[in-house]
Amino acid sequence: MQATAALFLVRPLPRPHYRCLHGLRGGVSLAPPRRRLARGPRCSMSLSIGGAGAGGDRGFSYEHVPVFPRYRIRDPYKLLGVDRDASEEEIRSARNFLIQQYAGHEPSEEAIEGAYEKIIMKSYQQRKKTKINLKTKLKKRVEESPSWVKALLGYFEVPPMDIISRRLFFFAFIAGWSIATSAENGPAFQLAISLFSCIYFLNDKMKNLMRASTTGFGVLVGGWIIGSLLVPLIPTFIIPPSWSLELLTSLVAYVFLCLHGLRGGVSLAPPRRRLARGPRCSMSLSIGGAGAGGDRGFSYEHVPVFPRYRIRDPYKLLGVDRDASEEEIRSARNFLIQQYAGHEPSEEAIEGAYEKIIMKSYQQRKKTKINLKTKLKKRVEESPSWVKALLGYFEVPPMDIISRRLFFFAFIAGWSIATSAENGPAFQLAISLFSCIYFLNDKMKNLMRASTTGFGVLVGGWIIGSLLVPLIPTFIIPPSWSLELLTSLVAYVFLFLGCTFLK
């Protein structure tokens, strides 16, 4: 008996089995799962304690799993333990090391992965935001310009086209609204809205409300002064008789506010070190005795040219498959950069293709994240197939998109209430419909489908509103609010939800 007990005590404990929990990290992917770029292992250890056996998942606990002590820290750099000027390789190495150390504790893994994605996304967005797509000759002219010209140009940048189009549409709408409802004293209300919008856009980039307010007010004052000087110079036969001096000056002020709303959030501090990229060098060939200073006679005659640098598809340009891992894409980028170093168009095409693929991957992961608790995630996963199919038509966009569209439709609703008529806010309803179609087309990339969806959402919202409004007690509704106005308000809610959360 004693020998048997001794053998039992000496015998090694059974090894814990590992069970990967797919779908619990980062939220529920409601669409068919796509193959992601290669990432660290995501496993959760299921310990068989107290004879639970292989099926002991119900008794799972993190008692013997190492817990990352910094997983509650919000700063991604402090969480990973890296400097703010660390290279991309150092950040990736820190992430891989921590994932291996704390594999099995899901909150630690999620915190490490989230911090890594935040740093990488911020780096690529900063690089994409500060790019000015000028030709090589124009770039050289800017580089060869005096220091005061460079200092002046340092206050400006060209944002992405979607930001330009949205803000141009917004200020054009304000200008049209001012012309349509022109008064003797000028469009004071619309001018105030444009000022607050400009301050909001500037604060979104500067992250300093006081500085954004001062800049916006200064732009308004400067635009008004310049407009009051320019308007009297315009020939009178060009100006419609109903347009007053205040209206024309306001239109000039809108132009200034729009331009400064597009202005880049320029960092006046010393530039930070960017994440490591491929070498960006330009070869200076000494031809015809130009010597070391022969930059003016530079040419790409003896520099190897990448044959695919004009291809638009980033995967074809880098020569990788669409399901290639992040390491394979990076290796292809580094190899091509070394092969065609010196030819600037080739280098720009290779870098641009690499950034497009990586940005698309991170945006897709960030876009499909729904921060639900584990129990709710499990309920969604265990729900019937028709529920999953229904939820597959919806997604949760980033908070900045939600807040901007909520502000827009709230403004439309306030405008409808302020200028309510007997026949209802037909003009505001049309603007909200076209805006919903624009937002849907920005995601669907199909104008016909976006138009059909937007019109269907409007009709559905109007029908539901016409059924719900009579059920509201009359003492809650102000006497001046008509049935058409209340139904329109319900339709605005449906249009907001449709253009924001529909895929």
CATH class for the region spanning 16-128: mainly alpha
- pLDDT, mean over the chain: 74
Give me the pLDDT at residue 497, please: 92
pLDDT digits (tens, 9 = 90+) for 11-44: 554 444 444 334 333 444 444 444 444 444 444 4
Sign (positive or negative) of CA dihedral 67, 72, 76, 82: negative
Give me the residue spans of the domains in the chain. Answer: 16-128, 161-262, 277-367, 399-501
Q: Which of 332, 290, 336 is nearest to 309 (CA)?
A: 336
Q: Residue 221 belongs to what H/E stretch?
A: helix 209-230
**Quick one: 424 exposed, middle or buried, by C-beta within 10 A (0-12, 13-18, 19+)?**
middle
pTM check: above 0.75: no
List the beta bridge partners of residue 394.
Answer: 502
Q: pLDDT category, 492, cuts 50, 70, 90?
A: very high
Give me the pLDDT at residue 296, please: 45
199 contacts 180 by C-beta, under 8 angstroms: no
Interatomic CA distance for residues 491 and 487, integer angstroms: 6
Interatomic CA distance for residues 198 and 210, integer angstroms: 13
Average pLDDT over residues 42-61: 43
Please give the CATH architecture assigned to the domain spanning 277-367.
Orthogonal Bundle (1.10)
DSSP string, 280-307: --B-----SS-GGGGGGG---TTS---T
Give me the pLDDT at residue 141, please: 72
Q: Which residues contact 391 (CB under 8 A, 6 or more apart)?
A: 30, 380
Give me the pLDDT at residue 45, please: 42
Interatomic CA distance for residues 397 and 389, integer angstroms: 19
Amino acid type, 46: S
Q: How far is CA 178 from CA 79, 224, 440, in A?
A: 50, 15, 27
Give me the pLDDT at residue 374, please: 57
Interatomic CA distance for residues 140 and 290, integer angstroms: 18
Interatomic CA distance for residues 456 and 503, integer angstroms: 15
Highest mean pLDDT among 240-249, 274-283, 312-321: 312-321
The count of other CB atoms within 10 Å of the CB of residue 341 is 18
Of the listed ranges 88-92, 331-335, 421-425, the one predicted with least confidence: 421-425
